[in-house]
């Protein structure tokens, strides 16, 4: 099983600040996904990045896939309390379509 490490595990910031969450592995993935999970609910897909070096933007969220397809980052600009939640990265294994999840980053944005 390919492993994914997320950092930081916990992040508490003030509204308006910027933040970056990292997802790293020693293995290559065919693509990488970012999910957001709110308390009492299942994860919801935010984005899938497929090409090494790819950058995708979703409003104030910017996702980047590393050139070697081993790592990814999520950057949030001007965080808002509504961004609070658990952010999970998930790598799609090169051998098939199974997902390997990172441990998650619990983000709290204080008003």
Query: Residue 78 Cβ, how far from other proteins at the closest point, in Å?
Result: 27
The first and second tokens of residue 40, run together, are 């009492």
Nearest residue (CB) to other proteins, 14 versus 26:
26
Query: Residue 104 Cβ, how far from other proteins at the closest point, in Å?
Result: 5
Nearest residue (CB) to other proteins, 65 versus 79:
65
Nearest residue (CB) to other proteins, 91 versus 109:
91
Nearest residue (CB) to other proteins, 13 versus 99:
99
CB count in 10 Å sphere of residue 103: 15
Query: Residue 111 Cβ, how far from other proteins at the closest point, in Å?
Result: 26
Query: Residue 25 Cβ, how far from other proteins at the closest point, in Å?
Result: 13
Using CB under 8 A, list all residues that contact other proteins.
Answer: 1, 4, 6, 9, 30-31, 33, 40-45, 48, 50, 88, 90, 92-93, 96-99, 101-104
Question: Secondary structure of the chain in the HEC alphabet?
Answer: CCCCEEECCEEEEECCCCEEEEEECCCCEEEEEEEEECCCCCCEEEEEECCCCCEEEECCEEEEECCCCCEEEEEECCCCHHHCEEEEEEEEECCCCCEEECCCEEEEEEC
């Amino acid at each position: 099983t390919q492993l994914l490490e997320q950092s930081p595990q916990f992040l508490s910031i003030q509204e308006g600040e910027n933040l970056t969450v990292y997802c790293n592995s020693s293995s290559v993935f065919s693509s990488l996904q970012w999910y957001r999970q709110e308390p009492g609910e299942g994860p919801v897909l935010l984005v899938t990045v497929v090409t090494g070096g790819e950058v995708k933007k979703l409003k104030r969220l910017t996702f980047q896939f590393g050139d070697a397809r081993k790592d990814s980052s999520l950057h949030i600009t001007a965080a808002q309390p509504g961004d609070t939640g658990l952010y999970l990265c998930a790598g799609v294994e090169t051998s098939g379509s199974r997902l390997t999840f990172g441990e998650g980053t619990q983000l709290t944005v204080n008003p």
